[in-house]
Amino acid sequence: MKTSMLIFVCVILTMTGCTQNPQQKAALKQNNMKFKQLTPEEERVIVHKGTEAPFTGKYDKFTETGTYVCKRCGTPLYRSSDKFDAHCGWPAFDDEIPGAVKRIPDADGMRTEIECAACGAHLGHVFLGESLTEKDTRHCVNSVSLEFMPASKAAATDTAIFAGGCFWGVEYYMNKIKGVISTEVGYTGGHKDHPTYQEVCAGKTGHYEAIEVVFDPAQTSFEAVAKMFFETHDPTQWNHQGPDWGEQYRSAVFYRYEAQKATTEKLIAELKGKGFKVVTEVIPAKPFWKAEDYHQDYYDHKGTTPYCHGYVKRF
The catalytically annotated residue of 70, 166, 201, 308 is 166
Could you name the CATH architecture of 158-302? 2-Layer Sandwich (3.30)
Task: Judge whether residue 4 has pLDDT over 50.
Answer: no
User: In the prediction, which pLDDT does 265 show?
Assistant: 96
Task: Judge whether residue 17 has pLDDT over 70.
Answer: no
- Told to judge if 140 belongs to the known catalytic residues of this protein, a careful annotator would answer yes
Could you name the CATH architecture of 2-150? Beta Complex (2.170)
Give the residue with greater pLDDT, 257 vs 35. Answer: 257
The catalytically annotated residue of 73, 140, 201, 308 is 140
Residues 144, 46: Cα–Cα separation, whole Å: 8
CA dihedral 303, 305, 230, 161 (to 10 degrees): -30
Task: Judge whether residue 103 has pLDDT over 90.
Answer: yes
User: In the prediction, which pLDDT does 304 show?
Assistant: 86
Name the nearest CA neighbour of 49 among 82, 16, 26, 78.
Answer: 16
- Told to judge if 166 belongs to the known catalytic residues of this protein, a careful annotator would answer yes
Reported as a single tens digit per residue, the pLDDT across 280-308 is 999 999 889 999 999 999 888 888 888 88
Kindly state the average pLDDT of the residues 233-262: 92
Angle between helices 167-174 and 222-231 (to 10 degrees): 130
User: In the prediction, which pLDDT does 149 show?
Assistant: 86
User: In the prediction, which pLDDT does 6 show?
Assistant: 43
Tell me the pLDDT of the chain averaged across its residues: 86
CA dihedral 309, 310, 313, 315 (to 10 degrees): 20
What are the extents of the domains in the chain?
Answer: 2-150, 158-302
Give the residue with greater pLDDT, 76 vs 295. Answer: 295
Classify residue 8 by burial, with Cβ atoms within 10 Å: 0-12, 13-18, 19+: exposed
User: In the prediction, which pLDDT does 161 show?
Assistant: 96
Residue 174 CA from chain centroid, whole number: 20
State the pTM of this model: 0.56
User: In the prediction, which pLDDT does 28 show?
Assistant: 36
Reported as a single tens digit per residue, the pLDDT across 161-213 is 999 999 999 999 999 999 998 999 999 999 999 999 999 999 989 999 999 99
